[in-house]
Structure 1
Amino acid sequence: MRRWNGWGEEGVVFPLSEKARVLLQEQLGPGTLPREATLEEVLSRVPPSRLPPHPLVSPDPEERLRHARGQSLPDWIFLRSGQIPAFPDGVAFPTTNEEVRALLAYAREVGARVIPYGGGTSVAGQVSVLPGEAPVLSLDLRRMNRLLRLDEKSLLATFEAGVQGPDLEAQLRAWGFTLGHFPQSFPYSTLGGWVATRSVGQESLRYGRIEDLFAGGRLEAPAGTLLLPSFPASAAGPDLKQAALGSEGRLGVLTEATVRIRPLPKAEAFAAVFFREFGEGLEAVRRMAQEEVPLSLVRLSTPEETAVNLALAGQSRGLALLEAWLALRGAGPGRALLLLGASGTRARVSQALGEALGIARAHGGVYAGQAPGRFWAHHRFRQPYLRNTLWEMGYAVDTLETAGTWNQVPRLLLAVEAVLREALGEEGERVYAFSHLSRVYPTGANLYTTYLFRLHRDPGTNLARWRKLKAAASQAIVAHGGTISHQHGVGTDHLPYLEAEKGPWGLEALRALCRALDPWGLMNPGKLV
């Protein structure tokens, strides 16, 4: 069973190596675990439902608790402390388009607000229930998980939008295909959630971002049904698929999605390269992107994150030999780790890695074999479990991300990490921040930053610290020309900064679109715009 107040399955633990524990204490000092509310305590605080009975709506307190928040750090603070501001008044599990339409009609009739819910993995507040006078209905789509149509000739597959990552890939694999979309939330997140937040997969360099994969679908809006045909291309005015992408449940409920698929790759391989310093690696991956080397993965870590990755790997004779060998080759404490991946035919994989390693060597890179890449690939969907481990040690961990042009990336990196490290200085607290690039483009790259700080016994203090850190980093991103989100979406956390990117008339255009499809303001209010 999934945890109600953390990540993943209850029985799964990702332990921290002793080397990583020592590193963490050196950076932040000993952690303190706040008191945690029990499930029974929190359930006793769930208020009576304000919704009238409906055969498709459950008022069960535990279902309402499990649909109250997502997976952001504020969500965790509320859940772990039991101080949850609001709960949905009911949860529905529709299985057809007709049931979705019936539930939207019911919500309009009783004056309820509707939050579409997929895997519950959002990290920017998209599924969080906000306090308000109107009752809230959570619409959980995970029972709408079937493969409806497969066009093998056109390489198109139509799914119900509630299908989760592993089920989607299993249904395609049975026919010899893959979508190739693997965000870190892959075990739980849904196809509809990917579309609604403009998700990016870890191997999107080969397979594309979700907007490259989304070919069409069906949106059930309060005003009616919006069908999005799957043309190979069209010049018939603005593309309404782009409106559904990133809409975060504000326009309606995405119930079906047609996606572009590929045959399963014949081969897949990973490689690791160490650079003496981050700047060399940055120039190497820029060249790889601009020369369009056909890779599936490019992940360049800063020296700080490289040290964390090596610490997480633990202590072994093989690792000690690797570090000694790297030091001899000039890759000392300031080294930066680059992971490369390629998939496709065996010839394509060999060509891609050969080209990439040639560029890396030209920029001073030291090839370190395939073992580090295989280690990352094996653990990539287990790493979020570290959030549970760190919390139980008394540390909060959060991530943020942006993207900028190649001339902006170095300044963005320095600015974001600097403001994070300084933000809690007046409280006498340190922040440990480190970053990587995990998606490169010919014109720029994304920047993904992880930061940790010590938990306080008071949940209000933890929330205030997070707000201070989030505001400092977001303001730095905007000031240095980055996007407020490359892959996590807007939700509530990034909403204050959206006007800097879209402008006032851009926001008004989005609001007008929401009014056109949702004239009664039922859909996920307080998110996106």
Structure 2
Amino acid sequence: RYGRIEQMFAGGSIETPKGRLDIPTIPASSAGPDVREMILGSEGRMGVISEVKVRVTPLPTQEDFYVLFFPSWEQAKAAARHLVQSKVQLSMLRLSNAIETTTQLALAGHPGQITLLEKYLAWRGAGEGKCMMTLGITGLPDQCRSAHRLMKRLTRPLGGVYTGNFLGKKWAQKRFTMPYLREALWEKGYVVDTLETSTDWSNVNHLLNTMEDNLRTGLADKGEKVHVFTHLSHFYSQGSSIYTTYVFRAADSYEETLARWHKLKTTTSELIVNNGGTISHQHGVGKDHAPYLPT
């Protein structure tokens, strides 16, 4: 709904070695390369942004988050693609694969309630291998009602089990606190990191499986397991992002832990760029990803 930062960055001032560069706030232009994106993409190499003008959106009248479950990844992915290509007015869409779904439910707490939910979902056909979809509907009340009805109508034939907005509310409450789990994991002796990319719909499964397989077996020579799970977080008519999280046990020394991370990071990054993905969908390039940018 709100767009990514390169869409919200309307213009501003950049301090360059040759002086100040002012980018006017033009809504759109077809007169050559977009200087705004050139500045953002340079990550500070062309100059330092000293003043920013951003595009803003009024606060919504209504915003709700809902959760659906699908019996399989293929049905869930088909539903997400159908929603996006049908231009349903969703403000947010996130699709977890089976392992992330299991992980998220385990982290939710309330084991008694989760057990009841699991039984209900299994009865509805979404048992082992189920995938969770979280989506947001935002806007005026009439807009929200219309999008809500259309969302349910389009996902039902693909096996979607609608569970209302209770889990969606829980997600919204924790959406900015979940990253702090990293500190808790570090204290327990585990390392967590993410890799993200994007690709065409026809390549999503291949690239996702390639990334996960490499990460999952990447420390087998050390006798170590890696917990890997993925969600699709940004959707386009053409394709989707892929956001993969991996967790592994820290070694006895900092140097060995860093070496383990470096192996997982570099080998998977190479696979991404050699299998039809971009080295970064949203996090940027920086030093970690710079070697893979030419590819």
TM-score in same-fold range (> 0.5): yes
Partner of 2:12: 217
Matched, 1:381 2:171: no
Secondary structure of the corresponding residue to residue 207 of structure 1: coil
Amino acid in structure 2 at the alignment position of 1:418: D
Within-5 A mapping of 1:74-153: none
Check conservation: 1:216, 1:259, Cα contact below 8 A: yes
Query: How much does 1:315 deviate?
Result: 3.1
Task: Report the counterpart of residue 440 of structure 1 in structure 2.
Answer: 235
For 1:474-513, list aligned pairs within 5 A: 474-500=269-295
**Any idea what SS the aligned residue of 1:269 has?**
strand
1:232 aligns with 2:27: yes
Q: Which residue of 2 aligns with 1:451?
A: 246
Structure-1 separation of matches of 2:168 and 2:267: 33
Aligned pair partner of 2:208 in 413, 424, 432: 413
The answer to whether the aligner puts 1:304 opposite 2:105 as a matched pair is no
Q: How many positions carry a matched residue from both structures? A: 295
Matched, 1:363 2:179: no
Q: Distance in 2 between matches of 1:246 and 1:478?
A: 18
Q: Separation in 2 of the partners of 1:457 and 1:376?
A: 35
**Amino acid in the other structure paired with 1:321:** L
The Cα shift of 1:322 comes to 1.1
Structure number having the greater strand percentage: 2
Letter of the 1:374 partner, please give it. K
- Mapped to 2, the partners of 1:488 and 1:388 lie a distance apart of 20
User: Match of 1:449, SS?
Assistant: strand
Does the aligned pair in 2 maintain the 1:273–1:337 contact within 8 Å? yes
Counterpart Cα distance in 2 of 1:369 and 1:316: 19
User: How much has 1:493 moved relative to structure 2?
Assistant: 0.7
Counterpart residue type for residue 459 of structure 1 = Y
Matched, 1:394 2:186: no
Q: Gaps (5+ residues) in structure 1? A: 1-205, 501-529
Alignment of 1:514-525 (within 5 A): none
Runs of 4+ in 1 over 3 A off after TM superposition: none
Q: CA deviation at 1:463?
A: 0.6
**Once the 2 structures are TM-superposed, how far is the Cα of residue 442 of structure 1 from its aligned partner?**
0.3
Q: Is the 8 A contact 1:341 1:353 kept in 2?
A: no
Secondary structure at the aligned position of 2:67 is classed as: strand
**What TM-score do the two structures reach when normalised by structure 1?**
0.55
TM-score (ref. length: structure 2)? 0.97
Map of 1:290 onto structure 2: 85
The answer to whether the Cα contact below 8 Å between 1:278 and 1:336 also exists between their aligned partners in 2 is yes
Shift of 1:338: 0.2
Does the aligned pair in 2 maintain the 1:340–1:353 contact within 8 Å? no
1:267-305 per-position Cα deviation (integer Å, ceiling 9, x unaligned): 001111000011100000001111111101110000000
Q: CA deviation at 1:320?
A: 2.0
Aligned residues: percent identity? Answer: 49
Tell me by how many angstroms 1:317 deviates.
3.0
C-alpha distance in 2 between matches for 1:238 and 1:476: 30
**Structure with the largest fraction of helix:** 2
Within 2, Cα distance between the matches of 1:327 and 1:377? Answer: 25
On the 8 A contact 1:276/1:335 being kept in 2, the answer is yes
Distance in 1 (CA, whole Å) between partners of 2:94 and 2:181 is 20
Matched, 1:333 2:132: no
**Aligned equivalent of 2:262:** 467
Q: Quote the residue 2:75 is aligned against.
A: 280
Letter aligned with residue 406 of structure 1: W
Q: Which of 148, 157, 163 is the equivalent residue of 1:353?
A: 148
Q: Which residue identity lines up with residue 144 of structure 2 in the other structure?
A: V
RMSD: 1.1
Secondary structure in structure 1 of the residue aligned to 2:240: strand
Superposition deviation, residue 347 in structure 1: 1.2
Pairing partner for 1:342 from 137, 141, 145: 137
